């Protein structure tokens, strides 16, 4: 009985060791994610974010620590009730993906880079509804060795940008600089080749 238990423990440890040795730590990857949209503004503007966000992901991980990633994100509809305006925002980003891949497949990471954002506003209230944004985010990825390149992600990412907003006040046009943050809390899947 004791011999069987020891044999089972030894086989289990060797299987775990083999599985841990096979975790892919470099290569090209593609994937996608879905999540919820949130919006913050530096002024007292009433903003409602409804719907889901989705994204397409592609990148290359050089080693356990450094990767470079491109993302296309389509945010859910964003409504500004005071202006009777709606944004259908999207962004294309290039970021550094910095983290550490542990032998068990877990990889906490952070993203930092730039994105090109397009708000696609329904009513013209902004000086320009397109621009460059700072992309930042954090997340946790899990890539079990037994799935041979398939990984699951939980992440939170935000595009920070400033835009001039115009509105009428007592018959004259007022221009105000406002900083916005459009975020996405998402779950995703990637596959590394």
Residue 17 has pLDDT above 50, yes or no: no
Angle CA 177–181–183, to nearest 5: 165
pLDDT band at 18 (very low <50, low <70, confident <90, very high): very low
Q: What is the mean pLDDT of residues 28-33?
A: 98
What is the widest separation between alpha-carbon atoms in the chain? 90
Residue 156 has pLDDT above 90, yes or no: yes
Question: 43 phi and psi, to 5 degrees?
Answer: -115, 175
Which residue shows structure tokens 């080693």? 63
Residue 42, phi-psi category: left (phi > 0), alpha (psi -120 to 50), beta (remainder): alpha
Instruction: Tell me the pLDDT tens digit for each residue of 100-114.
Output: 999 999 999 999 999
Beta-sheet strand order (sheet of 48-49) = 48-49, 78-80, 85-87
Encoded tokens for 109: 């990471």
- Per-residue pLDDT, 67: 97
Distance from the Cα of residue 193 to its chain's centroid = 21
pLDDT band at 20 (very low <50, low <70, confident <90, very high): very low
Query: Which of 10-24, 84-98, 129-143 bottoms out in mean pLDDT, i.e. has the lowest?
Result: 10-24
- Contact between residue 93 and residue 115 where contact means Cβ atoms under 8 Å apart: yes
Question: 151 phi and psi, to 5 degrees?
Answer: -135, 150
pLDDT band at 168 (very low <50, low <70, confident <90, very high): low
Residue 33 has pLDDT above 90, yes or no: yes
Domain made up of 27-192: CATH architecture? Beta Barrel (2.40)
Cα distance between residue 118 and residue 141, in whole Å: 28
Cα distance between residue 94 and residue 54, in whole Å: 16
Instruction: Tell me the pLDDT tens digit for each residue of 42-69.
Output: 877 778 787 799 999 999 999 999 999 9
- Per-residue pLDDT, 112: 98
Higher pLDDT, 163 or 110: 110
Instruction: Tell me the pLDDT tens digit for each residue of 67-87.
Output: 999 999 999 888 887 777 888
Question: 26 phi and psi, to 5 degrees?
Answer: -150, 155
């Amino acid at each position: 009985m004791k011999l069987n238990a020891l044999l089972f423990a030894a086989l289990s440890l060797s299987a775990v060791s083999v599985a841990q040795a096979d975790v892919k730590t470099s290569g090209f990857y593609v994937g996608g994610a879905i999540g919820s949209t949130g919006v913050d503004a530096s002024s007292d503007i009433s903003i409602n974010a409804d719907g889901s966000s989705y994204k397409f992901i592609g990148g290359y991980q050089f080693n356990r620590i450094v990767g470079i990633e491109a993302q296309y994100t389509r945010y859910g509809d964003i409504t500004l009730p005071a202006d009777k305006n709606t944004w259908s925002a999207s962004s294309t980003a290039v970021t550094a993906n910095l983290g550490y891949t542990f032998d068990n497949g877990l990889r906490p990471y952070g993203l930092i880079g730039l994105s090109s954002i397009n708000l696609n506003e329904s009513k013209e209230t902004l000086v320009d509804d397109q621009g460059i944004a700072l992309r930042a985010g954090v997340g946790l990825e899990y890539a079990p060795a037994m799935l041979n390149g398939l990984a699951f992600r939980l992440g939170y990412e935000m595009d920070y940008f400033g835009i001039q907003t115009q509105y009428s006040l007592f018959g004259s046009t007022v221009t105000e600089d406002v900083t916005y943050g459009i975020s996405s809390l998402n779950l995703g899947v990637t596959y590394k080749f």
